[in-house]
Amino acid sequence: MIKNDIIDSGQLYQGFKDLLPILKSCLDDDWAPDLRFATCQLLEKMLVSLNEALDSDQLRELYPILLQRLDDAQDLIRIEITKAFTVFFACKNVKMMDFLDF
Give the pLDDT confidence of 12-71 residue by residue, as tens digits.
899 999 999 999 999 998 899 999 999 999 999 999 999 989 988 888 889 999 999 999
pLDDT value at residue 35: 95
Considering only residues 100 and 53, tell me which one the structure prediction assigns the higher pLDDT: 53
Q: Binning pLDDT at 50, 70 and 90, where does residue 75 land?
A: very high
pLDDT value at residue 102: 55
pLDDT value at residue 74: 94
pLDDT value at residue 96: 61
Q: Which residues of 47-80 are buried (b: 16+ CB within 10 A; e: fewer)?
A: bebbbebbeeebbbebbebbeebeebeeeebeeb
